[in-house]
Structure 1
């Protein structure tokens, strides 16, 4: 994300400017649905993979054995549903005690979250990579715990590009040329996988708008309707109009489209580190490479994403239990296997040290220094994220300027 190197799905925005009463999702200590005298923590997380639920259950089983007086109730939602679910829970005064999400500044503005230092030990806090922790701050105070980081890179089907007589592109001109020639091969093959559907439209938008010199703004202002962003948006339309993409990119979701790449039917698509494992599991014979994302002039760039864990201030009687859970989860023997199972990059110093020799991570680690991030500490980023998801796919049929203007209007309206 928000938000460094991320191997999971793209971050979904949390709902800003909502109010929360003092009672929480699971009630207070001692009457929270568990055994008498126990504390129940409610944990709401998104699904990063088919194994996400089982991976969290492994963590929870170990934690509950070490802390028999604390129970953890797990709820796993899809990224598409996550924002709506957490919004509904907050409005019903049933916020989760612990939440795995993306942007969080709106929650901070409504004083819903514990400061990070209140719910982790000093040892755990000091183990986070400083750059990731900085990305979890609002006005100099961290209110979320970095969970995982990820970066994007271009996955290239070597066989299709060779068949089309082109090489892996480095800039937009060579990308358009290569993708058009791969699409011309026929047989259901697409040159470039362009997912502009609601799952992660903001990520594909960032790849192109930022790759052309634009941005989404910063902590103080969200800027979508700018001349710099129009350059990237018009390049997307150019790709679509040239037949360089799959059919109907405006409603195509990233995850199923990547499955098609893995099947060998797409020449190039921006992907994440978990894609490496998906290829190994589903099509190990695929001849592919991972290269930097092409930009307008070939300048180095990647979209960095960092997701977070955060704790809602539902009941101060639970603060000690939350701290115990976070300290347990981020211990290297627990955290590193979870990160490996999901295919993410670690955000802790101890985790990075343990995984430093992993060759599969190298292409993503190489592009990490050039990562740019969503302006997730801006309270209006939630509105921007939602606007991209609902409107950006209209680029397929509407003028690029009109789409950017409409997104900006939705952001400004809050």
Structure 2
């Protein structure tokens, strides 16, 4: 799922119509525990159609919860992941925040004082069960507001058939990537290495490369450090050693979206790219045998990876703190966490569910991704400025690898915008 999109004002009537909700909901009780309570839950749809819509999952969770908690009803609204962040933003602006939202970003709401903290809602056992790297990404000034819901990591995917035909071994270093891509190009492979730096998810592809080059978006104290020497060196290498040598295919990276790169890989047209579990199923369904290795670094494979998470949060507006906490504790049971992860080939966010998945041979294809999760580095979700910075990366980073470009200048412009955005937090 993508990140939070820019929020805009919208009238209450339009919000209610868009979400298919009634304006009058049972909402008494709150912290007092008196009377019936209806919790409003808005969640993202991870499905590809009616057969696997997330509405089925959440309706099942709600029904199970209601059975165990008489007096609490859960009203479920599931929206397309491209729309849900905007829709929730509009509800909040209109003064009709849901009680619980499962979306892509939490920082703005937390900073505005609209969210309960994890300590205010969750049982200690639930809060302590989150994987530390994910739990930390849900904190602002050491206080957790964002509850990780699902996660994924990235590995380097390669087409085993194409590699075998060229007599290649799986790459472990950047030099291996370059030499393998050169050999694949000589064999007529359309995209020796697909490098999607188009606007769809350029911020993620960028972070993978920055981490593999020893850099990242922030420094050791959490300040933006986008134009660091390590990051500049990474993009110089990409420009000179991959793009400049014609090893990234017919579409320039700045115009290649992740979805198109993934489609090309599943069609057997790509030698290598950075992939996630969903692509694995898509490719194998079309007969592409996929090799997977940790992201190659300058001198060897990375020990960690880039991680991505979406978030659950409880809004204060309706005063249903206890009821929200009860639902979240139920939703984060191993059974529920694993059911969702299994349905969409994602990774569980709790230690106990991750241990179950790790020991289950039926999840073998996810084990390498799961192994990378504890040491993964996530984007700076806790910064309210991240939405602005991410948007700048999406719009501009492709220029850093264009022929004749100056990576230092491009990264410097993004860094300046990032520092200004951070100063305004």
Of the three residues 3, 17, 22, the one matched with 1:12 is 3
Partner of 1:391: 396
* 1:91-110 aligned within 5 A: 91-110=93-112
Partner of 1:256: 260
Kept in 2: contact 1:15–1:107 (CA 8 A): no
Of the three residues 20, 24, 30, the one matched with 2:26 is 30
1:331-373: per-residue Cα shift (whole Å, max 9, x none)? 2222211111111221223312321223222222333454222
- Asked whether 1:78 is paired with 2:70, we answer no
Stretches (4+) displaced over 6 A: 24-28
d(CA) in 1 for partners of 2:335 and 2:376?
A: 28
Measured after TM superposition, the shift of residue 204 of structure 1 is 0.6
Partner of 2:200: 199
Partner of 1:365: 370
Measured after TM superposition, the shift of residue 115 of structure 1 is 0.3
Of the three residues 325, 348, 357, the one matched with 1:346 is 348
Partner of 2:173: 171
Q: Across the two proteins, how many residue pairs are aligned to each other?
A: 393
Of the three residues 255, 275, 281, the one matched with 1:271 is 275
Kept in 2: contact 1:52–1:342 (CA 8 A): no
Partner of 1:129: 131
Measured after TM superposition, the shift of residue 66 of structure 1 is 4.8
- Asked whether 1:403 is paired with 2:407, we answer no
Q: Say if 1:118 and 1:48 are closer, same or farther in 2 by CA, change over 3 A.
A: farther
Q: Say if 1:177 and 1:95 are closer, same or farther in 2 by CA, change over 3 A.
A: farther
Kept in 2: contact 1:148–1:345 (CA 8 A): yes
Kept in 1: contact 2:43–2:79 (CA 8 A): yes
- Structure-1-length-normalised TM-score: 0.84
- Asked whether 1:155 is paired with 2:160, we answer no
230-239 vs 82-91, greater mean Cα deviation: 82-91
SS of 2:128 mapped into structure 1 = helix
Of the three residues 284, 304, 322, the one matched with 2:307 is 304
Q: Say if 1:360 and 1:112 are closer, same or farther in 2 by CA, change over 3 A.
A: same
d(CA) in 1 for partners of 2:243 and 2:60?
A: 44
Kept in 2: contact 1:55–1:341 (CA 8 A): no
d(CA) in 1 for partners of 2:120 and 2:48?
A: 30
* 1:37-116 aligned within 5 A: 38-45=37-44, 47=46, 50=49, 51-53=52-54, 54-64=56-66, 66=68, 69-79=72-82, 81-116=83-118
**How big is the alpha-carbon RMSD for the aligned residues of Structure 1 and Structure 2?**
3.0
Of the three residues 140, 158, 163, the one matched with 2:142 is 140
Unaligned runs of 5+ in 1: 1-8, 19-23
SS of 1:278 mapped into structure 2 = helix
- Structure-2-length-normalised TM-score: 0.82
With a CA cutoff of 8 Å and minimum separation of 6, indicate the structure with the bigger relative contact order.
1
- Asked whether 1:190 is paired with 2:191, we answer yes
Partner of 1:208: 209
Kept in 1: contact 2:197–2:256 (CA 8 A): yes
Q: Say if 1:293 and 1:177 are closer, same or farther in 2 by CA, change over 3 A.
A: same
